[in-house]
Each structure stands twice: as structure tokens, then as C-alpha cells.
């Protein structure tokens, strides 16, 4: 009795790079977006006040809001004409040319159901960008922001192409967040305070030092001081 040979395991899908999906997804563009998102989290961590009750959840909410604002501000400034915003809501979707992308905090190899959920407008836009609804079926593009457990800072940002309810990764490209090595041989320098959107970010609050009031607040305070002085006189 002849026995058929055992089936060989299916070969893994060849790794694809972002620009294999669409020419707009060039390395420098992805790097700009990833830096904006990373700088936003840096600002949120810098402003965190644990003594006032800030925790990982509140820092995460602030980091997400800051990143939305940075991406929106750069898109409106027009310094990078390829960057636009498709959906300004809490489901925030931005565009690199025509390609819709979202971002989340979490491990690149463990996307959640919420991460994989596609908005109707996002799905429609992706089909238009790729020119084939079949190719775009079940596909999403995401930036995964992986953080350090200890301080909540950015460990790395990974660009993902995920497909289907299980989130099969067809692309997982770690975005370079380091400045290239200089001729001096000092090695790569970790990204810090690179003003992609012209905003350097806030200063970290010092323990026991109250933050400086805004200019308008200072004027109101001075007015209140003068009024109290007149009443006392």
C-alpha cells in the first residue's frame, strides 16, 4: 500500500517592506510621523505628576491626544504636503498621500481587536489608495508604539501591515528613531527634541516647583493683587 509523502509545512510569507504596498510609504515619511508620535509621548511623560495622581492610563491618554495634535498641526502647516488628516475624531486617521494610517500603544506582535478594527471611511480610503478592493480587503496600516515598562518612554516604533481578524503581519518594519552615526565615530544618538513640527516640547516639572503661569494668567494675577491692595487701603 502506497503512502503519500507527508506534506511539507507551508513556507512563510516573504517579508514585505512598507513601500512594497504603496510608493507613498517611503522611509523618511514614516520616520517623520514616527518621530512626531514619539515626541508626543516624551512630552506626556515629561509632564506627568505622579504625586497628583498621574498613572500609566492618564499618561497614555495624554500621549495619544498630544500625538493627534502634533500630526494635525504639521498637516495644517503644509511643511510636509504628503501629510493630511482623514478623521480628526478619537478614531484618528491620518494620510500619507492617499494611504490611511492609525497608531496605538502596545506590542507590535500583539495587536488587539480594537487595534485591528477598521473605520468605514478608512477602509474606503485604503481601497482607493491601493486601487483594488481585493488587495485592500482586511488590510490595515498601523504604527505600534512600544514603551518601556519602567518610565513609559518610547522603546521603539514599528510600522505594521496587518490583515484579517487575527492581525496577520505582512510587514513589521521598525522605524529608525536614531540620528545616523557621525564621522567622529561617537555612535548613534538617541532621538531627542527634534522639532519636526517647530515645537520643542515642555520642560519637565521640577519637584516642589510650581509651573510658571501662562502670560494671560500672570496679568490676571497682577490685577487681582492690585485690587486687594486697594481694598486693604
Residue 207 main-chain phi, psi, to 5 deg:
-60, 130
Q: Domain limits of the chain?
A: 18-199
Whether the Cβ atoms of residue 52 and residue 4 lie closer than 8 Å to each other: no
83 burial level (CB within 10 Å; 0-12, 13-18, 19+): buried
Neighbour order of strands in the sheet with 83-87: 83-87, 93-96, 99-105, 139-147, 154-163, 168-174
pLDDT of residue 13: 52
pLDDT of residue 220: 43
In DSSP terms, 136 is beta-bridged to none
pLDDT of residue 149: 77
pLDDT tens, the chain, 233 aa long? 555 555 544 445 557 899 999 999 999 999 999 999 999 999 999 898 988 988 888 999 999 999 999 999 999 999 999 999 999 998 999 999 999 999 999 999 999 999 999 889 999 999 999 987 678 999 999 999 999 877 788 999 999 999 998 899 999 999 998 644 444 445 544 444 445 555 555 665 554 444 444 444 444 445 555 555 555 54
Contacts of 157 (CB under 8 A, 6+ apart): 34, 37, 38, 143, 144, 145, 146, 174, 175, 177
pLDDT of residue 206: 52
Amino acid at each position: 500500500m502506497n503512502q503519500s509523502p507527508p506534506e511539507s509545512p507551508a513556507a512563510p510569507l516573504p517579508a514585505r517592506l512598507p513601500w512594497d504596498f504603496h510608493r507613498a510609504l517611503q522611509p523618511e515619511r514614516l520616520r517623520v510621523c514616527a518621530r512626531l508620535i514619539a515626541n508626543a509621548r516624551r512630552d506626556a511623560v515629561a509632564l506627568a505628576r505622579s504625586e497628583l495622581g498621574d498613572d500609566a492610563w492618564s499618561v497614555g491618554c495624554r500621549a495619544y491626544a498630544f500625538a493627534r495634535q502634533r500630526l494635525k498641526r504639521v498637516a495644517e502647516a503644509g511643511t510636509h504636503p504628503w501629510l493630511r488628516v482623514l478623521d480628526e475624531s478619537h478614531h484618528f486617521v491620518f494620510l500619507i498621500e492617499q494611504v490611511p494610517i492609525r497608531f496605538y500603544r502596545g506590542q507590535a506582535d500583539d495587536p488587539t481587536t480594537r487595534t485591528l478594527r477598521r473605520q468605514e471611511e478608512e477602509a474606503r480610503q485604503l481601497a482607493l489608495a491601493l486601487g483594488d478592493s481585493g488587495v485592500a480587503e482586511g488590510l490595515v496600516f498601523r504604527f505600534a508604539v512600544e514603551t518601556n515598562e519602567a518610565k513609559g518612554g518610547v522603546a521603539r516604533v514599528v510600522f505594521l501591515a496587518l490583515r484579517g481578524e487575527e492581525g496577520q503581519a505582512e510587514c513589521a518594519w521598525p522605524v529608525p528613531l536614531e540620528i545616523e552615526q557621525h564621522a567622529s565615530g561617537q555612535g548613534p544618538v538617541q532621538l531627542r527634541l527634534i522639532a519636526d513640527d517647530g515645537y520643542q516640547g515642555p520642560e519637565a516639572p521640577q519637584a516642589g516647583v510650581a509651573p510658571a503661569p501662562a502670560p494671560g494668567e500672570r496679568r490676571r494675577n497682577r490685577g487681582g493683587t492690585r485690587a486687594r491692595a486697594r481694598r486693604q487701603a
